[in-house]
Structure formats: structure tokens, C-alpha cells
Amino acid sequence: MKIGAVTVAAVLCAVVIAWMSPSVAQPAQWPGLEEPVTGQAASPAQRAQAAPPAQAAVAKYQFLFFHKDQSPETQSLYTVFQGAMRKAASRAEPRVVNLNDPSETALVRRLGVDRAPMPMVMAIAPNGAIMGGFPGKFDETQILGAFGTPAQEKSLKAFQENKMVFLCVQNERTKLNEESVRGVYEFKNDPQFSRHTEVVFVNPDDPTESRFLQQLAIDPKTDTAISAFMTPPGVVLGLFPGPTDKNVLVQHLTLGGCGPDCHCLKSQQAQADSGGVLKKFFGKISSTFGKK
């Protein structure tokens, strides 16, 4: 079943960037903006060595509050940020980042937020996927809504690495499970596509995944295995109930790219890295399906 452009709301965040390393943990009582964070950031090795085993085992989201000044607007939005973090204290680790602090320059550049409207909040999942970016103005609902499902986190991480994703929805009660992934793995095992493809499995009966499935227009009560074919930044090329065929999947991919004779993914540059060639290719897909 072919569908038009479906861009997943939680996937289309304001900033779509590659993986970042875990940030420095903040104390339980967050500093006010009148007490800017100072000092040299600890290295990942130092943080791992200093963290107690129990604390290291807790996988929390990182929420970064970026700012440049201490204006009334910044102070007001920081209060909003603090309120959201208190409500999510068991699963969120907040951090304040002053763009004027030289020790934060590397982080700011890595995330590409130096030109974004300030203040800004960025939410990062435990696997490094950026789940949301809220520049200029935001509220508690937006911040708390940045939490995603495990499958959503895996998919978004792949998108940010310029990879395609097959979301395979199945469990012991769904029919045609093996047939559903046959074409998917033929596609995945093709040298042309292998390093650009991720396969993510989802149990439709998992209540934590129901919101993500609904965003993709997939019925969690489906009695047949379904494979969703997605490309960055979250474009659904098609939903395929039951058996999949590699040739059909390739047709869906090239439809939104350069046409049936497209060689973007075969080019030396695409094979060497996941940079400009793939971004341009996936951008064509997004634009093409976005018109439908």
C-alpha cells in the first residue's frame, strides 16, 4: 500500500543533527542564570569514572537549555524549563549552556545552534538521537512531548545518520511475519543499500509504541505484519502489509529520488560517507512526496 508524504511530527524537530556525546550531569538543584555554568567540562572517560554504578545504569534524556543573555524573556523561559524538568526529574537530566562561555564552544558548534534563536531547548535521547529542538519560545507541553518511544528513538537516530529505516511491525500473533521481512532483508543485504539501511522491529502490542504507530497511520491491532519504509527526515515512502518484494521497495525509493536509473547511492562519495550526496538524494525524496 503506497501512501503520500507522512512526516512524523516528533521526528521533524527544529534541529536534525548527528550523534552527540553525553553531556555533563547537573546537580539536582539547577543553577539560576545569574549563576552561569563555568569551568572546564569533564571528558567522557572522567564522567564514566566518577559516576556511581547505579547512576550510570539509569538511561535519561538530556535536556539542554541554551542562552546568550539574562534578559527577562530568557529568565521567564528558564522558569518554564525548570518546571518541565521537575515534572520529568526521574527520566530527564537538565543542563544549562551559555553560548558566551568559551568552555561550551565545542558543544555549541557540534550541535550547530550558534545561529539559532535564543533561548533554545534541545532534547536528546539516551542513544544520542535529537528528539526535539525548541528555539525562541516554548512551553512545558512541548518540552515534555519530546520524549519518544524506543522505536522512535532508533528511527530518528538512523535518520540523523542519513540512513533509511524499515520499521517492521509484528509479533507472535501477526500473520506473514517471515514474508514481511523477506524483501526488507533482501534490500538491506544488497551492497548498494546495506550501509545506508536500518531495520527496526516493533511489537504492535507494546503500549509504549502505540503513539508512534498511530503517527505512522499503523493500526496497533493489525493482524498482519506491516513494514514501513522511511527515509530522512521522516518521510514514509510506503506501508507494506504482508509480503515485501525488494524490487518494489527499490521502485518506491527511486520514485522520489533521481528516477529509475539513479546512481546516487552507488556513487563513490555515497559509499565513502553519509554526507552531501545522501542529503541531496533524501532531500529530493522529501520534496517529491511532500507535493502529494
* Tens of pLDDT, residues 177-227: 999 999 999 999 998 889 899 999 999 999 999 999 999 999 999 999 999
pLDDT tens digits, one per residue of 75-122: 999 999 999 999 999 999 999 999 999 999 999 999 989 889 999 999
**Within the chain, what is the greatest distance between any pair of CA atoms?**
60
Q: Which backbone phi and psi does 67 adopt, to 5 degrees? A: -155, 160
pLDDT, residue 54, reads: 44
pLDDT, residue 255, reads: 78
The cell for 56 is 550510570
C-alpha–C-alpha distance, residues 24 and 121, integer Å: 16
pLDDT, residue 280, reads: 81
pLDDT, residue 272, reads: 65
**pLDDT averaged over every residue in the chain:** 81
pLDDT, residue 32, reads: 53
Q: Worst-scoring range by mean pLDDT, 12-26, 114-128, 142-156, 172-186?
A: 12-26
Domain 150-290 has CATH 3.40.50.720: no
| From the candidate CATH numbers 3.40.30.10, 3.40.50.10860, 3.30.420.10, 3.40.640.10, the one assigned to the domain spanning 44-144 | 3.40.30.10
Count the neighbouring beta carbons within 10 Å of the beta carbon of residue 56.
11
pLDDT tens digits, one per residue of 34-51: 444 333 333 444 333 433
pLDDT, residue 185, reads: 97
With 0.85 as the threshold, say if the pTM is over it: no
Q: Across residues 60-81, what is the average pLDDT?
A: 96
pLDDT, residue 273, reads: 62
Q: Across residues 156-166, what is the average pLDDT?
A: 94
Q: How confident is the model at residue 24 (pLDDT cuts 50, 70, 90)?
A: very low
pLDDT, residue 238, reads: 93
pLDDT, residue 254, reads: 83
* Identity at 201, one-letter amino acid code: F
CB 21 within 8 A of CB 44: yes
C-alpha–C-alpha distance, residues 182 and 134, integer Å: 40
Cβ burial, residue 268 (10 Å; 0-12/13-18/19+):
exposed
C-alpha–C-alpha distance, residues 91 and 84, integer Å: 11
Judged against a pLDDT cut of 90, whether residue 57 lies above it is answered with no
CB 188 within 8 A of CB 166: yes
Considering the chain, tell me which residue range(s) the CATH 3.40.30.10 domain(s) occupy. Answer: 44-144, 150-290
Judged against a pLDDT cut of 50, whether residue 274 lies above it is answered with yes
